[in-house]
Amino acid sequence: MSAITIAILEPGYRDYAAEGEVLSAHDARIVPVSADEDAASSLKQLDPVALLVRERPVTASEIDSCPNLKVIVRYGVGVDNIDLAAASARRIHVANVPDYGAENEVSEHALALYLAVQRRIPSRDREVREGRWGVGQEAPVPNRENAVLGLIGCGKIGLEVARKFRAIGFASVLGYDPYLDADTAKTHGIQIADLDTLCSEADVVSLHTPYTAETRHILDREKLGRMKPQSILINVSRGGLVDETALADCLAKNRIFGAGIDVFEHEPLDSAHPLLGTPNTVLSDHTAWYSERTVSVLQRNAAHEVERVLRGEKPRNWVNPW
């Protein structure tokens, strides 16, 4: 049996031994396609039966360049970077990996970003290194007495964020999520709220919702304008949920206290991105999901989805069923 090709678009992991092990029965050849290659041309030569991808777009032309393609698997949850219509038109399965157990990593990162912003850790570090000391009330720090957490999205990660913020003293949690039922909200001590109320009353607004046409810029200029002057925005979900230009304007004019941002509408950041110059803003490189454990689980679970399709089965996490 001749080897089949599994193409890795946007390679970024240390190695692909886990995928090779899972797919060994199929004599699979794992071939990374680097970001600086013409993906469509490379894929046409490789003729892969499966694509594995992280954040980079998978376009219709790239899909069409693979005549024997059977499945596309996203390393992670969101699939807005994949042309689902083009894949569905060819009856190509698209699957994601929502079950790699990153709830702890993402929720910890959200909490870490909040504390870094609230306690002004980056600026304290920088000023100590520059010889400044005892800045004190020149740089006010908002307290957490009776603080309110506002969750936009109350799935597994959002609920874990709520638990951890309560542990450091947050008094109450507001939740905006059309899919949050009353029983779940009651069990987790979440008060269901509309988006306007959440933005107006929360001391911290934390985003944990998928990116869709409906949620794009769910925090636009008007919603950001409702936030308290001492409030903090945390985004460890998807960059397109926030109007970044409006957010940068709010931060620059001190209309909100600060922001901790791990995800951006376009990645990596352009050197002229407005959030690179805003005060009390802590940025990270789409790394909230990461730990050595999650990488291992993610790679294996993604490969298992490919393996199911090669066996003639449906993916476990099939996102474009027909």
Active site residues: 238, 267, 286
Q: Are strands 172-176 and 148-152 parallel, antiparallel or unpaired?
A: parallel
Q: Count CB-CB contacts under 10 A for residue 285.
A: 12
Which pair of structure tokens corresponds to residue 295? 């990488």
Closest CA to 82 of 56, 43, 48, 50: 56
Closest CA to 145 of 172, 115, 111: 172
d(CA 137, CA 55): 42
Contact 320, 87 (CB under 8 A): yes
Contact 122, 116 (CB under 8 A): yes
Contact 249, 220 (CB under 8 A): no
Backbone angles phi, psi at 151, to 5 degrees: -100, 125
Which pair of structure tokens corresponds to residue 118? 């609230």
d(CA 64, CA 50): 13
d(CA 227, CA 231): 6
